[in-house]
């Protein structure tokens, strides 16, 4: 079992969607064995091939004659020879096979796209800082990165991006859509977004920036005479487990009596990273997760750690996906409290496989299962203590094209009223009608912010409202989920 467990940690990747700017694609390049031939479970090229991992042969199955015939007809007769270039047609055929699987997590990168990703494998990248996937043929946000331009601009998990700079991206592949959103630091991109709960699309402007790939943040809280630590994990990158252990050691040296592991908004990453973290937390012999292959064979990963000996609580939300869900499911099964809202629901394993003729397939090869054998795919991990954040946490950013004043009746005014109410300047209504009470509340806000007290909603006031709301959301005192996690740790300490 131990040898199998080590092989699992070494070989399997959990890569969720495509990161704008290639943040998690560094997972592809660190171990060349994962990029060449058939990877074995110990990270080296395989010798004997298990039945569940069949070798690739070049014998064409029945029906491939149709594909060859179609290629020859197009290549010989299509009116535009450049469009009928052999390489383009072959890449298109591969993409067609991948699309036919109906799996948003399996994708193909041609040599040029692969080179693009490999050149950005560093400790930072330039972009908007969010991870996306395709859901129901729409580019869907898994989660923006912590403190990224996307997060600051108001992009939220499960937002669906439908336009880029005013142009529809319907029908584009994941890679094609991502290319349109990428760009250099300082440039801006306008994203048209569909959001649950809103009847019409909204437009969010994001200024691209350099995104550092720090993945672990630590903090301490003093609560009722107790010291409680928090470790926020924003992604499971190659060194996340080492950073986690170092940060944990520092918190332990500072005398923490309990720990909160916060994976809200964490889209996933390396299985090896979350494996090592679970080994740190779970006592010896506890099942951490299972891997199920196409033939039904399962491999069970068990902890060989000693446990922490202090109360541990996990924070999750709808932006917690893949490796984050492995962490939450593993700790939930072991009896640790899980606080927040139901997670994203991604329970498959992807492994990159190079094609000898060029290009790379990121292929779903297995399922991962919770310790009890359940599959959370498209279901998510349900918290043991469900806590919703205040409604204003989910408000879209406010934007105005021209000043709006008294007697305006508009959805923008309704959003402004909700923001004013959340910030303590209650306009007494949120129906979108700009009356005298709304004007009075807006003037009070403008005065507090040192703005001209015009009583009108202009661009400067809109930005001030956005910034004030972001600061309120970031204040730990307003974080209901965090507060519940702290109370849960205290309750455990009092037992």
Instruction: Point out the catalytic residue in the list 346, 362, 456, 484.
Output: 346
CATH pick for 122-212 out of 3.40.50.2300, 1.25.40.10, 3.40.50.720, 2.30.42.10: 2.30.42.10
More confident residue, 99 or 197: 99
456 with 441: CB under 8 angstroms? Answer: no
Instruction: Point out the catalytic residue in the list 237, 322, 446, 481.
Output: 322
According to the model, what pLDDT value does residue 117 have?
58
According to the model, what pLDDT value does residue 116 have?
62
CATH code, residues 216-350+363-390: 3.90.226.10
According to the model, what pLDDT value does residue 28 have?
27
C-alpha span between 395 and 212 (Å, rounded):
26
More confident residue, 147 or 37: 147
476-485 pLDDT, tens digit each: 999 999 999 9
Is domain 392-476 in CATH 3.40.50.2300, yes or no?
Answer: no
Of the pLDDT bands very low, low, confident and very high (cuts 50, 70, 90), residue 174 is confident
42 with 10: CB under 8 angstroms? Answer: yes
Domain residue spans of the chain: 122-212, 216-350+363-390, 392-476
143-163 pLDDT, tens digit each: 788 788 998 898 988 899 999
According to the model, what pLDDT value does residue 252 have?
97
Q: Positive or negative CA dihedral for 278, 280, 283, 284?
A: positive
Of the pLDDT bands very low, low, confident and very high (cuts 50, 70, 90), residue 57 is low
Instruction: Point out the catalytic residue in the list 232, 324, 350, 417.
Output: 350
Residue 235 catalytic?
Answer: no
Lowest mean pLDDT among 135-144, 274-283, 295-304, 432-441: 135-144
Residue 322 catalytic?
Answer: yes
Residue 350 catalytic?
Answer: yes
| Long-range pairs for 395-398: beta carbons < 8 A, 24 or more residues apart | 395/154, 395/419, 395/422, 395/469, 396/154, 396/193, 396/195, 396/198, 396/202, 396/204, 397/153, 397/154, 397/202, 397/204, 397/466, 398/462, 398/465, 398/466
Q: Which two tokens stand for residue 326?
A: 């492995």
Q: Residue 481 — φ and ψ, nearest 5°?
A: -65, -45
More confident residue, 120 or 133: 133
């Amino acid at each position: 079992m131990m040898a199998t467990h080590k092989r699992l940690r070494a070989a399997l990747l959990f890569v969720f969607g495509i990161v704008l700017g290639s943040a998690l694609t560094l997972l592809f390049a660190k171990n060349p064995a994962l990029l060449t031939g058939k990877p074995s479970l110990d990270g080296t090229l395989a010798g004997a091939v298990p039945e569940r991992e069949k070798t690739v042969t070049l014998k064409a199955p029945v029906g491939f004659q149709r594909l060859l015939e179609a290629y020859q007809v197009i290549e010989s007769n299509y009116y535009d020879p450049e469009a009928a270039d052999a390489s383009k047609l072959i890449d298109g055929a591969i993409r067609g096979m991948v699309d036919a699987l109906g799996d948003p997590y399996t994708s193909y990168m041609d040599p040029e796209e692969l080179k693009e990703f490999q050149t950005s494998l560093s400790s930072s990248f330039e972009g908007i800082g969010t991870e996306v996937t395709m859901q129901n043929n729409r580019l869907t946000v898994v989660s923006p990165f912590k403190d990224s331009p996307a997060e600051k601009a108001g992009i939220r998990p499960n937002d669906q991006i439908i336009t880029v700079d005013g142009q529809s991206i319907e029908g584009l592949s994941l890679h094609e859509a991502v290319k349109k959103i990428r760009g250099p630091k300082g440039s801006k991109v306008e994203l048209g977004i569909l959001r649950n709960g809103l009847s019409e699309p909204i437009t969010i402007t994001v200024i691209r920036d350099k995104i550092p790939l720090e993945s672990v943040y630590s903090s301490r809280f003093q609560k009722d005479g107790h010291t409680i630590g928090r470790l926020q994990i924003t992604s499971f990158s190659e060194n996340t487990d080492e950073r986690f252990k170092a940060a944990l050691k520092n918190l332990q040296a500072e005398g923490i009596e309990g720990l909160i592991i916060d994976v809200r908004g964490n889209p996933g990453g390396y299985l090896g990273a979350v494996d090592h973290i679970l080994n740190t937390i779970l006592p010896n012999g506890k099942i951490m997760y299972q891997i199920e292959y196409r033939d039904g064979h399962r491999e069970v990963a068990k902890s060989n750690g000693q446990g922490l000996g202090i109360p541990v609580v996990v924070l999750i939300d709808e932006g917690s996906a893949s490796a984050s869900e492995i962490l939450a499911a593993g700790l939930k099964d072991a009896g640790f409290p899980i606080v927040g809202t139901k997670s994203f629901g991604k329970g498959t394993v992807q492994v990159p496989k190079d094609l000898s003729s060029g290009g790379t397939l990121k292929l779903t090869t297995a399922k991962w299962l919770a310790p009890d054998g359940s599959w959370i795919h498209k279901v998510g991990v349900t918290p043991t203590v469900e806590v919703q954040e205040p409604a204003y946490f989910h408000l879209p950013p406010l934007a105005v094209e021209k000043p709006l004043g008294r007697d305006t009746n508009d959805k923008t005014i309704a959003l402004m009223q909700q923001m004013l109410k959340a910030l303590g300047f209650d306009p007494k209504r949120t129906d979108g009608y700009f009356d005298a009470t709304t004007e009075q509340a807006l003037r009070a806000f403008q005065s507090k912010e040192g703005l001209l007290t015009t009583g009108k909603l202009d661009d400067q006031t809109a930005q001030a409202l956005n910034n004030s709301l972001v600061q309120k959301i970031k204040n730990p005192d307003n974080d209901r989920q965090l507060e519940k996690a702290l109370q849960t740790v205290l309750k455990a300490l009092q037992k």
